[in-house]
């Protein structure tokens, strides 16, 4: 990369320019923020500090993932850029300013992403003069996040990596997961990564299909009320999805008579269609119970992917919350901000309704909050209670009482120091199993990251 840069600099001035690079950075009216492949902050300029309301000393040499876990929004879509090698731009609300972020990868001699450079510009007033095309494009870009997949947890990144290759084939994919985990978003992502990306993507909600729905309707005719697609009243699922992707959501709810008809249509090869199916049910158990056809299960079970629930990928909670928050603030023209205590409470909550629940709570906050700053009191009581330590499945007093059965054996022959260290080690070990980073766990434990990092090393706990 240095060779590419030096190509545009007179040889005799290269060192002088390098020596004055910081000054050159600070002459830019646009903000500049540079990270390496691992997400470590390498450089930024004064304009970035002013536009984002951050200080260089709080950012330099720190990972964007740790910063995000600490509630510091730096505006970098780092993981996606490193994974895809593609530029990314978005408009974010920072305080009362509308900020345009344009992020670009820089590659090394092997074609791998080496640096991510982010340009930051205040566009709060730029669209007000003309409105029209530029303003609508900005709005369209933010609203497009409705179908954007947020994945920073190791589990989701691994899943995406596996699906990237499968997407390049025409293999049938079966997506398994609890309601609300984002099966439809992942199905769209698979379609976008596939050779059929320029063709239509159709989603069919199988839970809405009635028992008396005829085979002719399944294969040749469909009312748009079932498909959710405005394609007219006489176009079939398979016909409408010709050359594209058909996502059968809730396939486990499909009545047995229609399972037979669907299997026949698929085996006959009616149409050139890529099939993705999704369900919250354990289809193997459904087959044993006689509620799902074994042969259809085998037909669908080519590439099976389990989508983890949100409680098992806590590192994704705040990025998802930010995405929904930005989209709804723009959609409803609200200038709001989330206080750190809100993000902390959201990180602790178990989210039984998964991404759906998170999205709807954020929507409720945006449309109903009367103050500019959204605080803990604006959250549902269940989340407030978790933050205050009152909402766990087991009362704290019950937990202590349960320990009494083992205290005598546990204390025998041990000093208070040994006992405290044993308890501390177990707490940290358990915490690390349920958090993707030391930073996020330090936030929950209310200790400095450096303190927790030392203790993790002291006890030999895997991070």
The two three-digit tokens of residue 375, written as one number: 């605080």
Instruction: Give the CATH class of 154-307.
Output: alpha beta
Residue 65 to residue 144: CA distance in whole angstroms: 24
**pLDDT value at residue 211:** 44
Average pLDDT, the chain: 78
Nearest to 142, CA basis, from 92, 75, 78: 92
Residue 80 to residue 85: CA distance in whole angstroms: 8
Give the lowest-confidence range in 9-23, 270-284, 366-380, 436-450.
Answer: 9-23
Give the lowest-confidence range in 21-35, 42-56, 273-287, 349-363.
Answer: 21-35
**pLDDT value at residue 135:** 44
Instruction: Identify which has the larger pLDDT, 308 or 69.
Output: 308
CATH code linked to domain 311-387: 1.10.8.60
Q: How far is CA 168 from the centre of its chain?
A: 22
Cβ neighbourhood burial of 409 (10 Å; 0-12, 13-18, 19+): exposed
Query: pLDDT-derived band of residue 97, with 50, 70 and 90 as boundaries?
Result: confident
Residue 280 to residue 276: CA distance in whole angstroms: 14
DSSP conformation class of 335 = -
Is the pLDDT score of 235 beyond 50? no
Are 208 and 226 spatial neighbours (Cβ–Cβ below 8 Å)? yes
**pLDDT value at residue 136:** 46
**pLDDT value at residue 229:** 38
Query: pLDDT-derived band of residue 270, with 50, 70 and 90 as boundaries?
Result: low
Instruction: Identify which has the larger pLDDT, 63 or 386.
Output: 63
**pLDDT value at residue 411:** 58
Is the pLDDT score of 61 beyond 60? yes
Q: What is the pLDDT of residues 247-266, one digit of tens each?
A: 999 999 888 888 888 888 77
Please state which architecture CATH assigns to domain 2-130: 2-Layer Sandwich (3.30)
Q: What is the pLDDT of residues 352-375, one digit of tens each?
A: 999 999 999 999 999 888 888 899
If DSSP codes are grouped into helix, strand and coil, which group holds residue 277?
strand
Q: What is the pLDDT of residues 203-220, one digit of tens each?
A: 888 876 644 454 444 544
- Asked whether the whole model's pTM tops 0.75, one would answer no
CA dihedral 320, 322, 326, 327 (to 10 degrees): 10
Are 222 and 179 spatial neighbours (Cβ–Cβ below 8 Å)? no
Residue 334 to residue 315: CA distance in whole angstroms: 26
Residue 94 to residue 75: CA distance in whole angstroms: 9
Is the pLDDT score of 439 beyond 70? yes
Q: Percent of the chain scored above 70 by pLDDT?
A: 78
Q: Where does residue 333 fall: left (phi above 0), alpha (psi -120 to 50 degrees), or beta otherwise?
A: left
**pLDDT value at residue 155:** 86
Across residues 13-23, what is the average pLDDT?
Answer: 69
Instruction: Identify which has the larger pLDDT, 343 or 237.
Output: 343
One-character DSSP codes across 30-58: SEEEEEETT-BEEEE-HHHHHHHT--HHH
Query: pLDDT-derived band of residue 143, with 50, 70 and 90 as boundaries?
Result: very low
Across residues 188-216, what is the average pLDDT?
Answer: 76
Is the pLDDT score of 276 beyond 90? yes
Q: What is the pLDDT of residues 98-127, one digit of tens each?
A: 888 888 888 877 778 889 999 999 887 764
**pLDDT value at residue 206:** 81
Is the pLDDT score of 8 beyond 70? no
Query: pLDDT-derived band of residue 307, with 50, 70 and 90 as boundaries?
Result: very high
Residue 298 to residue 301: CA distance in whole angstroms: 5
If DSSP codes are grouped into helix, strand and coil, which group holds residue 460?
coil
Q: Percent of the chain scored above 90 by pLDDT?
A: 27
Instruction: Identify which has the larger pLDDT, 410 or 265.
Output: 265
Residue 82 to residue 114: CA distance in whole angstroms: 8
Is the pLDDT score of 228 beyond 90? no
Q: How many CB atoms lie within 10 A of CB 268?
A: 10
User: End-to-end alpha-carbon separation of the chain, Å?
Assistant: 33
Is the pLDDT score of 306 beyond 90? yes
Is the pLDDT score of 274 beyond 50? yes
**H or E segment at 207?**
none
Is the pLDDT score of 447 beyond 50? yes
Across residues 192-197, what is the average pLDDT?
Answer: 91
List C-alpha distances in Å: 395 to 344, 392, 401, 428, 435.
20, 6, 10, 20, 22
Across residues 117-144, what is the average pLDDT?
Answer: 58
């Amino acid at each position: 990369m240095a060779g590419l840069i030096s190509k545009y600099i007179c040889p005799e001035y290269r060192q002088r320019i390098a020596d004055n690079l910081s000054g050159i950075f600070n002459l830019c009216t646009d903000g500049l923020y540079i990270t390496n492949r691992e997400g470590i902050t390498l450089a930024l300029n004064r304009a970035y500090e002013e536009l984002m309301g951050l200080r260089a000393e709080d950012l330099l040499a720190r990972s964007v993932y740790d910063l995000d876990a600490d509630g510091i929004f730096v505006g970098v879509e780092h993981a996606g850029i490193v994974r895809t090698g593609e530029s990314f731009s978005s408009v974010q609300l920072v305080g009362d300013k509308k900020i345009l972020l344009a992020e670009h990868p820089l590659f090394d001699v092997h074609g791998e992403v080496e640096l991510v450079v982010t340009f930051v510009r205040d566009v709060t007033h730029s669209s007000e003069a003309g409105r029209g095309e530029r303003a609508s494009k900005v709005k369209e870009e933010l609203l497009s996040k409705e179908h954007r997949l947020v994945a920073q947890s190791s589990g989701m990144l691994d899943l995406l990596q596996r699906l990237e290759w499968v997407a390049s084939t025409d293999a049938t994919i079966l997506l398994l997961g609890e309601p609300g985990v984002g099966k439809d978003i992942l199905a769209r992502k698979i379609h976008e990564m596939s050779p059929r990306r320029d063709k239509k993507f159709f989603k069919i909600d199988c839970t809405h299909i009635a028992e008396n729905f005829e085979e002719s309707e399944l294969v040749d005719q469909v009312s748009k009320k079932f498909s959710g697609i405005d394609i007219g009243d006489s176009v079939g699922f398979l016909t409408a999805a010709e050359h594209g992707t058909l996502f059968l959501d809730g396939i486990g709810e499909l009545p047995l008579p229609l399972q037979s008809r669907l299997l026949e249509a698929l085996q006959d090869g009616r149409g050139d269609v890529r099939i993705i199916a999704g369900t919250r049910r354990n289809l193997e158990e459904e087959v044993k119970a006689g509620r799902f056809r074994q042969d259809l299960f085998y037909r669908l079970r080519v590439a099976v992917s389990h989508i983890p629930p949100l409680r098992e990928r806590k590192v994704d909670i705040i990025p998802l919350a930010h995405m929904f928050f930005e989209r709804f603030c723009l959609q409803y023209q609200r200038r709001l901000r989330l206080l750190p205590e809100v993000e902390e409470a959201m990180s602790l909550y178990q989210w039984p309704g998964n991404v759906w629940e998170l999205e709807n709570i954020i929507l409720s906050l945006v449309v109903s909050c009367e103050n500019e700053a959204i605080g803990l009191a604006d959250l549902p009581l269940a989340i407030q209670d978790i933050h205050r330590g009152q909402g766990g499945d087991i009362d704290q007093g019950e937990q202590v009482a349960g320990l009494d059965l083992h205290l005598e054996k546990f204390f025998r022959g041990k000093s208070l120091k040994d006992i405290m260290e044993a308890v501390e080690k177990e707490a940290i070990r358990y915490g690390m199993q349920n958090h993707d980073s030391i930073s996020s766990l330090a936030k929950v434990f209310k200790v400095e990251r450096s303190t927790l990092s030392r203790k993790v090393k002291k006890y030999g706990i895997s991070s």
